[in-house]
Amino acid sequence: MTMRIVKELRSPLNRLFIYETEDNHRVESVFYKGERLCISTQVGCPIGCIFCASGSKGFFRNLTFDEIVTQYELLKDSLPIKGIAIAGIGEPALNIDNVEKAVDYFRKKGLKVTISTTGYPIENFKKLIKLSHNGLTLSVHGILHETREKIFKKKEKLEELIDAIEEHLSKSSSSRRKKFQLGYLLIKNLNDDLENLKLLGELAKKHRFTVMLMMYNRVDGFDLEPVSREKYEKAFLFLREMGIRVTLSNRFRTDKLGGCGTLTIGRKEVVE
Ligand code: SF4
C-alpha cells in the first residue's frame, strides 16, 4: 500500500480519515451520508480559494493513482461505500491523468463518481468533463469578474468554462446535461450581492443547469463569515423564483468535521 490511515475522527454525522503517504504527507477523506466517500487528489492545492483550508498551507504534489484509489481501498471492507466524490483536497483538473484512471477504476467497481472542479486549467477541464462521471459541479462562486478575482488565486474565464461544457454537450445525448451543475458557496459581503445572484440565475437558466448553493463553513484563522440562515434562504428563493433548480447544503456538508472547504493537509490535532 502506498498510504496508511493514521487517524480517524468522528462526529455524529461524518467520519474523517487522515492518511499518511510514504513521504510523510497527510491528506484526508470524509465518509458522509452513510454511503459516500469524498477523497483528495492533491497534497494541498494551488488554486487557493479564499475560503478553503485545503490550499491554505500551499501545494506540495499531485497524489498518484495508487494514492487516490487507496483512500477507498483501505475503507471499502468496513464501510458501505456506494459513491465517490472527487471533491476533497486538490483541484482534480490539475491531476488529470491520475484522476482519469481513478474515475475508470471506481466506475468499473460499480461506484457512482461525482467531481467538483474550478475548471483550472481549461485544457484539462475539457478532458474532465468527458469522463464517465455521474455528475460534475463547476464551482463558480462568483459571476462578476471582480468577485472571482477576489475568490480564486488561479482561475479560468467563466465564459470559456461554460463554452467548454456546451461544446461537450453539443456532441452528447440530451440527458447528459443533467450531469452538470454550478456550485456557488455564499460568503457574507463577498459574493452574496444581488448582482452576482441575478447573473448566476441568468446563467443557470440559459444553460439549464442546477445550482448547488452552499453555506460557507467557518475555518479557524480565516477572516470570512457565512451569510445568515435568513439570507441563505432568501438567495435560495430568489433563484427559485427565477425558475432555477437549486439544491442546498445538507447537514453533512456543513458539519464542523469534514464540511466543504475544511479538509486540510498535515492535520495533527483533534477537531473539537
Ligand atoms: S476549494 Fe478545491 S480548488 Fe479551491 S482551494 Fe480548496 S481544494 Fe483547491
pTM for the model stands at 0.95
Give, using CA atoms, the residue closest to atom 4 of ligand 1. 49
Q: What is the DSSP letter of 13?
A: S
Residue 267 lies in a domain: no
| Structural domain harbouring 135 | 3-248
Candidates 40, 47, 152, 191: which one to mutate for ligand 1, based on the most atoms within 8 Å of Cβ? 47
Distance 173 CA to ligand 1 centre (A): 30
b/e burial code for range 240-254 (CB count within 10 A of at least 16 → b) = eebebebeebeebbb
Distance 45 CA to ligand 1 centre (A): 6
> Which pLDDT score, from 0 to 100, does residue 178 have?
96
CA distance 171 to 163: 13
Residue 253 lies in a domain: no
pLDDT tens-digit readout, 64-89: 999 999 999 999 999 999 999 999 99
Candidates 52, 156, 185, 253: which one to mutate for ligand 1, based on the most atoms within 8 Å of Cβ? 52
- How many structural domains comprise the chain? 1
- How is residue 120 written as a grid cell? 483550472
Residue 254 lies in a domain: no
Look at residue 19 and tell me whether its pLDDT is greater than 70. yes
CA distance 100 to 249: 27
21 three-state secondary structure:
strand
CATH of the domain at 195: 3.20.20.70
Angle, helices 122-130/158-169, rounded to nearest 10 degrees: 30
Atom of ligand 1 nearest to the CA of 118: 3
CA distance 218 to 159: 30
Distance 87 CA to ligand 1 centre (A): 8
Residue 181 lies in a domain: yes
pLDDT tens-digit readout, 208-266: 999 999 999 888 888 999 999 999 999 999 999 999 999 998 887 777 787 778 888 88
192 three-state secondary structure:
coil
Distance 108 CA to ligand 1 centre (A): 27
Atom of ligand 1 nearest to the CA of 87: 2
Atom of ligand 1 nearest to the CA of 117: 3
List, chain by chain if needed, residues with CB within 6 Å of any ligand 1 atom.
45, 47-49, 52, 54-55, 89-91, 118, 261
Residue 166 lies in a domain: yes
Contacts of 170 (CB under 8 A, 6+ apart): none
Atom of ligand 1 nearest to the CA of 260: 1
Residue 255 lies in a domain: no
Give, using CA atoms, the residue closest to atom 3 of ligand 1. 91
Residue 50 lies in a domain: yes
Residue 195 lies in a domain: yes
Distance 96 CA to ligand 1 centre (A): 15
CA distance 258 to 15: 8
pLDDT tens-digit readout, 155-198: 999 999 999 999 999 999 999 999 999 999 999 999 999 999 99
pLDDT tens-digit readout, 21-45: 999 999 999 999 999 999 999 999 9
Whole-Å CA distances, 165 to 23, 40, 81, 161, 214? 37, 24, 29, 7, 22
Look at residue 270 and tell me whether its pLDDT is greater than 80. no
